Amino acid sequence: MLSLSTPTFLPTLLPPESTAHSPPSMDASTKSRIESLIASSPIFVFMKGTKLMPQCGFSNNVVQILHSLGVTFETFDVLSDMEIRQGIKEFSSWPTIPQVYVKGEFMGGSDILIEMYNQGELKEKLEVALAS
């Protein structure tokens, strides 16, 4: 007969919190570099590849949307710098790339831009942000 009672001893499968592995926190230098990049252009995109040669479909979606709206934007290829690639995720508390910033404010990634574009909200938001 199978017993369903709770065992009196369960092995610890995870280390205590004090020794648990967590991603390293970004250093001040990386944070400063990210802030400088974001400040360098009213619209800034952290992406895989460049706006001339996107290296993933999500980054390409963002580039195509921004080009279709006729806005000027700058990019940083996160594949070229692992500190920025990991740091930008911590900086924004957003786990994926690409990441779009408008006037220093994190707007979102590919899915959010596609949704805003399809609803006509993106063009208006960019026009307002770039006019101020």
Supply the DSSP symbol for 93: T
Q: In the CATH hierarchy, which fold is given to the domain comprising 27-131?
A: Glutaredoxin (3.40.30)
Domain residue spans of the chain? 27-131
Q: To 5 degrees, how large is the angle CA 63–CA 73–CA 67?
A: 40
Stretch 89-109: mean pLDDT: 96
**Count of beta carbons in the 10 Å neighbourhood of residue 117:** 18
Q: Name the band, by pLDDT with cuts 50, 70 and 90, for residue 25.
A: confident
- Output the CA–CA distances (angstroms, integers) from residue 63 to 5, 6, 19, 21, 27, in the order listed: 57, 55, 41, 35, 29
Q: What is the mean pLDDT of the segment spanning 64-75? A: 97
3-state secondary structure of 3: coil
Task: Report which of 111, 106, 110, 98 is spatially closest to residue 129, judged by C-alpha positions.
Answer: 106
| Residue scoring higher pLDDT (38 or 16) | 38
pLDDT exceeds cutoff 90 at 12: no
pLDDT tens by residue, 111-122: 999 999 999 999
Q: pTM for the whole thing?
A: 0.81
